[in-house]
A and B are shown apart, each in its own frame.
Chain A
């Protein structure tokens, strides 16, 4: 069965600092991988996704993620964090067909001045 682990429950970074949010997945075949962001009281918005091809994917709001098959990881990065990036971030894994996405428990990002 698919599973997703986000080891960090809460991360605090300074504005302008770089960011890396970790995501590890468990899945037998090549997964479809996603990062979503959720602002307080809002729905989830897709940041980026990986299906195949180039293992470094670019997303919205200056985010990128790198798929590393050998480490079963799909970490999210941003070179310079803005205060508006404070939110909850969810990693998810899926597969072709009708299987619903499996989500991690999320990482809450706080940004300090």
Chain B
């Protein structure tokens, strides 16, 4: 596989469920990102991991919990979500020290009932 792969592509969950989104990059990059994209809202940067350490957390509610076990994998653990958390969640990767060019996955469409 090449590029950035996200699973699942679609997820429906209740407010009391626990689920996880997975992202895997095959580009040899050392930084990974989670973005949230809601309807009619700009892209929101949620988390940044650089060299497997979290370097940015833009005031994201604690019901979203990221995990980066290695430079190729990134998870977003979801717990007790709200309907307003329904969105497209995009994963991206880049190479630290380069231009900042991001390589995106196809996204995981999350619906919270």
Contacts and interface: CB of A to CB of B under 8 A. Distances in A.
Interface of A: 32, 34, 36, 41-46, 49, 51, 90, 92, 94-101, 103-106
B97 interface: yes
Interface stretch (B11-19, B43-51, B67-75): B43-51
Interface of B: 4, 6, 31, 33, 42-43, 45, 48, 50, 55-56, 88, 90, 92, 96-97, 99-107, 109
Contact of B104 (A41, A43, A100): A43
Contact of A41 (B6, B55, B109): B109
A99 B56 CA distance: 10
A105 B99 contact: no
Contact of B50 (A41, A42, A51, A98): A98
A41 B37 CA distance: 10
Contacts of A43: 4, 6, 90, 104-107
Contacts of B42: 103-106
Nearest to B43: A103
B101 A34 contact: yes
Contacts of A100: 33, 45, 48, 56, 100
B109 A44 contact: no
Residue from A43, A90, A95 having most chain B Cβ neighbours under 10 A: A43
B43 A95 contact: no
16 contacts: A32-B101, A42-B106, A42-B107, A43-B6, A43-B104, A43-B105, A44-B92, A44-B102, A96-B97, A97-B100, A98-B31, A99-B100, A100-B48, A101-B101, A104-B42, A105-B42
- Enumerate the 9 nearest inter-chain pairs by beta-carbon distance, A residue then B residue, closest first: A94-B100, A43-B104, A105-B42, A32-B99, A44-B104, A43-B106, A103-B43, A43-B107, A101-B100
Residue from B90, B100, B104, B109 having most chain A Cβ neighbours under 10 A: B100
